[in-house]
Amino acid sequence: MSVTTTSPLIVSALDLRRTYGEGDAAVHALAGVSVDFPTGGYTAVMGPSGSGKSTLMHLLAGLDRPTSGTVAVDGIELSALDDSELTRLRRDRLGFVFQAFNLVPVLNAEENILLPLTLADREPDRDWYDELIRTVDLGDRRTHRPSELSGGQQQRVAVARALVHKPAVVFADEPTGNLDSTSSAEVLSLLRRAADDYGQTIVMVTHDPNAASYADRLVVLADGRVVRDEPAGDAEAVLELMKTV
């Protein structure tokens, strides 16, 4: 079953294949994946270990190049870009949230959030920045460095950093993997709000059925292929589905 949508597509992948190594040692991480992501959608990507989840995200985000097949982001085919153009596209049009937070330890929360704009030599939209700070509830923690923040607060900083430059797509790779249940709920609610209120497109790799239940849609990979693509249900429904994969 495949999810159909009337929203414009912001990310589109056609027959993606990614092979590592050669000959008998070759590993086919992706074996022909075609999948589209609509503007403003929130998609969870799940699958067993080694199914190709992270490989797919890295190819969609231009962090790796496919062995064959194509990826288009916001109408731009990534294979047509050289390294500097790809870097600019990632900087300007994409946001990233990782399991490990990836905050700069010598910068405070505000400086970490504004880092994408600093690197691009762009001034922040102060109204948007202030709204983000209210949304992530970090108003009294802006001058604190990562070591002075809880894990949940650090990940909320990372989510704000991913949104501050108004990207077309936010890629989240196991964003709650290092968090307790309360902090996880805070971060997942933020991503849900980013899609609902701000029209951001969220693509989230996760192994957690509860995290997947925040999404609109669930794409399941196995052995480098899409084996299920359907609306996401509650955590129990996601768990039952994963037992069949």
The domain spanning residue 82 has which CATH number? Answer: 3.40.50.300
User: Does residue 1 lie in a domain region?
Assistant: no
Dist CA 180 CA 150 (whole Å) = 11
User: Does residue 2 lie in a domain region?
Assistant: no
In this structure, the strands spanning 42-46 and 201-205 are: parallel
Mean pLDDT of the chain: 90
Dist CA 177 CA 216 (whole Å) = 20
Give exposure, 155-165, as e/b (b: 16+ Cβ within 10 Å): bbbbbbbbbbb
User: Does residue 85 lie in a domain region?
Assistant: yes
User: Does residue 3 lie in a domain region?
Assistant: no
User: Does residue 117 lie in a domain region?
Assistant: yes
13-50 pLDDT, tens digit per residue, is 999 999 998 888 888 999 999 999 999 999 999 999 88
SS3 call for 195: helix
Average pLDDT for 196-201: 90
Cross-strand bridge partners of residue 45: 205, 219
User: Does residue 80 lie in a domain region?
Assistant: yes
Q: Which structural domain, as residue segments, surrounds residue 86?
A: 9-243
pLDDT at 227 over 80: yes
For residue 96, what is the enclosing H or E element?
Answer: strand 94-98
The better pLDDT of the pair 178, 157 is held by: 157
Are 73 and 168 within 8 A, CB to CB?
Answer: yes
pLDDT at 149 over 90: yes
User: Does residue 154 lie in a domain region?
Assistant: yes
What does the pLDDT read at residue 139?
Answer: 85
For residue 190, name the pLDDT band (cuts at 50, 70, 90): confident
For residue 7, name the pLDDT band (cuts at 50, 70, 90): low
User: Does residue 4 lie in a domain region?
Assistant: no
In one-letter notation, the amino acid at residue 163 is L
In this structure, the strands spanning 169-173 and 201-205 are: parallel
Average pLDDT for 186-211: 92
> How many independent structural domains does the chain possess?
1
